[in-house]
Amino acid sequence: MTDVPINKRADPNDIRDRGLSETPEERASYLRAGHTLRSWFLTTDHKRIALLYLVSVTFFFFVGGIAAALIRIDLLTPEGDLLSNEGYNRAFTLHGVIMVWFFLIPSIPNTFGNFLIPLMIGAKDLAFPRLNLLSWYIYVIGGLCTLFVLVAGGVDTGWTFYTPLSSMFAHGQVVMAATAVFIVGFSSILTGLNFIVTIHKLRCPGMTWGRLPLFVWSHYATSLILVLATPVLSITLALIAAERLFGVGVFDPKLGGDPLLYQHLFWFYSHPAVYIMVLPGLGVVSELVTAAARKRVFGYWFVAGSSLAIAAVGFLVWGHHMFVAGQSMYASAVFSFLSLVVAVPSAVKVYNWTATLYKGQIAIDPPFLFAASFIGLFVFGGLTGLVLAMLAVDMHVHDTYFVIAHFHYIMVGGTVSAYFGALHFWWPKMFGRTYPMVWGRIMALLIYLGFNLTFFPQFILGYLGMPRRYHVYPPEWQVWNVLSSTGASILGIAYLLPFVYLLWSLRYGPPASANPWGAAGLEWTVPSPPPKENFVETPVVDYPAYNYPMEMEEGARG
């Protein structure tokens, strides 16, 4: 064309206009559909909102990570020399609050769920695009409140906000911190609501429930928890705020109120919330494992159903956090039993993934390595969860480093690995570029090693009796703490690596094809990066999920 006006910037509407290092797909993609700040901050495109989340969630991961670094440095020596007693308490409180509510809960659902659910079910967007944007703004406001708490002196209640410590005794910004969590809760609720309606109402023709990718199933289960559990947390935090601000307290033991009532309400939310944190990761791993093995998942319905089972039973086990809190022993026995029941659907998932690998065509790419780390660390974290569910053992290890190790195995070893696995798997789809595989493999290995070095010693510390939330400890425990801090440094460095090579790939990475992994799923049928409206034509599905070629005929040879 000769009569093209001279334009510095590539014209997204003209496929043939080659801008600087831009592929035609990129130019037609959602990434280039509008360049102004406004086009990002007022976007209703789920893919752009996903990127907004990606940036903000990663930011909070590093804020929480810096708090973790402070904790680990302080724990290098038995005396509390780096931080004062109060300072240390503030460090782990903010670490917990930020990591749980501002990183882990929104991490996979709000970035990858947002980006992928419409693509996976053949929809143009989520059901309520403006609500989706609103939910990001609410998240940001909550985040700003947290940052305010950070600079205004912090809180020292622990992420659990136990009364009457939080409501009557703690100094610091308890009300502001509770407000931050309260606000971010609304963001969770809106996202969950959006996902539920989207999955129900916007599936493309032929996309029956039995053909949904497992990623979507697990997000469906997650959304149910988000929607049903979060309001209980909201009201609980509101009650604490009311007590601190206006002196209208319903937990005050001096008036005959019951501090355990608070704990019941808190854990009624927070135990299901741990499944909010892990179910999306489980969904990611199902995708990564099938794609790596090029094989249909073993027992689709069992894996899909187990997500719902975890969500449902997960509502019935909250009391396992209160075995030594003074609750009735019969209640404890019931909660202990139900905690074993909730392990069964997890077992189904883990063993089915293993079976999926059998006779697959396994590619040892970064996504698979992350998935494998996830499985290993989740199994270990989950099984030590069962140790905690054993009443008599929990009397010994409750509120020790054993608990810390248990949940970091699942949340960091598990979900954070899944988060990075998802990032490495869908990066080419999101940005249209591939990154050097070597670096991805190195990062996966470093995380695995650094992680185990950080948190395995904590199981031993816990069994030795080191209580959590302690920064002054007897000298004989120093060895284990030094090991743990060493591991944390490796882990910290490993987490910084992707900044280098993923950002590098944005500009210099080789362009990715529509389906670089040869994976099944609707999201791989659209160009990388996808166009603004996702699908030029509404897709029609007439094949099952994960219909990898070798499944089509029995007894194929590889």
Partner 1 sequence: MSALPFWPHEASAYSAEIDHLALAFTVLIVLLSAPVFVLMIIFAVKYRRGRTADRRHPVNSRIGFEISWAVIPFAAMLVFYVWSTRLYFQQHHPPGNALEIQVVAKQWMWKFQHPGGQREINELHVPIGRPILLTLASQDVIHDLYVPALRLKQDVVPGRYTSLWFDADTVGVYRLQCSQFCGADHAVMGGYVHLLSPSDYARWLEQAGTDMSLASQGAALFRTRGCSGCHGAAATVKAPKLEGLFGHEVPLSDGSVVTADAQYIRDSILMPHAQVAAGYPDIMPTFQNVLAEDDVLKLVAYIKSLAAEPRSKP
Partner 2 sequence: MVDQPYSTVLQQREAATMGMFVFLGTEIMLFGGMFAVALGLRLTHPREFVDSSMQLHVWIGAINTAVLLTSSAAVALAVHAVRARQFRATSVLFVIAAVLGVVFLGIKAFEYATEYREGLLLPPVGVQRLFMDLYLVSTGLHALHVTVGAGLLAAVAAFAPQRATLVENTGLFWHLVDAIWVFLYPVLYLAR
What is the binding site for Cu ion (CB under 5 A)? 271
Residue with tokens 């894996």: 303
**Comparing C-alpha atoms, which of 146, 16, 73, 32 is closest to residue 482?**
73
Closer residue to partner 2, CB minimum distance, 49 or 410: 49
# binding residues, partner 1 (CB under 8 A): 100
Single out the residue of 492, 497, 513, 547 in contact with ligand HEA (rule: CB under 6 A): 492
| Cα separation, 311 vs 319, whole angstroms | 16
Give the interface segment with ligand HEA, choosing from 22-30, 168-176, 269-277, 360-368 (CB under 6 A): 269-277
| Cα separation, 314 vs 338, whole angstroms | 9
Single out the residue of 68, 214, 241, 423 in contact with ligand HEA (rule: CB under 6 A): 68
CA 336 vs CA 1, 332, 390, 406: distances in Å: 73, 6, 6, 16
- Could you say which residues in the range 453-482 bind partner 1, by CB under 8 A? 460, 463-465, 467-474, 480
Single out the residue of 60, 102, 139, 159 in contact with ligand HEA (rule: CB under 6 A): 159
111 binds, among partner 1, partner 2, Cu ion, none (CB under 5 to 8 A by kind): none
258 binds, among ligand HEA, Cu ion, partner 1, none (CB under 5 to 8 A by kind): partner 1
Report the residue count for the chain. Answer: 558
Dihedrals phi, psi of 433, to nearest 5 degrees = -130, 150
Quick one: tokens of 233? Answer: 């947390």
Closer residue to ligand HEA, CB minimum distance, 320 or 532: 320
Q: Which residues pair with 1 in a beta bridge?
A: none
Instruction: Give the shortest CB-289-to-ligand HEA separation in angstroms.
Output: 15
- 484, 72 Cβ separation under 8 angstroms: yes
Task: Give the rounded distance of the alpha carbon of 363 from its chain centre.
Answer: 25
| Cα separation, 366 vs 292, whole angstroms | 10
Q: Evaluate the CA torsion angle 536, 539, 545, 546 in order and state its sign.
A: negative
CA 306 vs CA 109, 203, 300, 379: distances in Å: 18, 22, 10, 16
| Cα separation, 490 vs 451, whole angstroms | 8
x-marked contacts with partner 1 along 260-289 as a string, rule CB under 8 A: x-----------------------------
Single out the residue of 76, 325, 483, 490 in contact with partner 1 (rule: CB under 8 A): 325
Packing angle of the helix pair 401-408, 437-464 (nearest 10 deg): 160
Closer residue to partner 1, CB minimum distance, 463 or 501: 463
Check residue 496 for interaction with ligand HEA (CB under 6 A).
yes
Q: Which residues pair with 155 in a beta bridge?
A: 172
Instruction: Give the shortest CB-282-to-partner 2 separation in angstroms.
Output: 23
# binding residues, ligand HEA (CB under 6 A): 60
CA angle 219, 223, 227 (to 5 degrees): 175
| Cα separation, 507 vs 21, whole angstroms | 7
- Could you say which residues in the range 76-95 bind ligand HEA, by CB under 6 A? 92-93, 95
Give the interface segment with partner 2, choosing from 52-60, 74-82, 197-205, 412-420 (CB under 8 A): 197-205
40 binds, among ligand HEA, Cu ion, partner 2, none (CB under 5 to 8 A by kind): none
Single out the residue of 31, 68, 293, 418 in contact with partner 1 (rule: CB under 8 A): 293
Quick one: tokens of 93? Answer: 């409180």
Give the residue ranges of DSSP H helices in 98-128. 105-106, 114-121
Closer residue to Cu ion, CB minimum distance, 250 or 386: 386
Binding site for ligand HEA (CB under 6 A): 62, 65-66, 68-69, 71-72, 92-93, 95-96, 99-100, 104, 158-160, 274-275, 277-278, 320-321, 339, 342-344, 346-347, 350, 379, 382-383, 385-386, 388-389, 394, 398-399, 403-404, 406-408, 410-412, 415-416, 454, 468-470, 488-489, 491-492, 495-496
Binding site for partner 2 (CB under 8 A): 44, 118, 123-129, 189, 193-194, 196-198, 200-202, 227-232, 234-236, 238-239, 242, 248-250, 252, 255-258, 261, 264-265, 268, 538
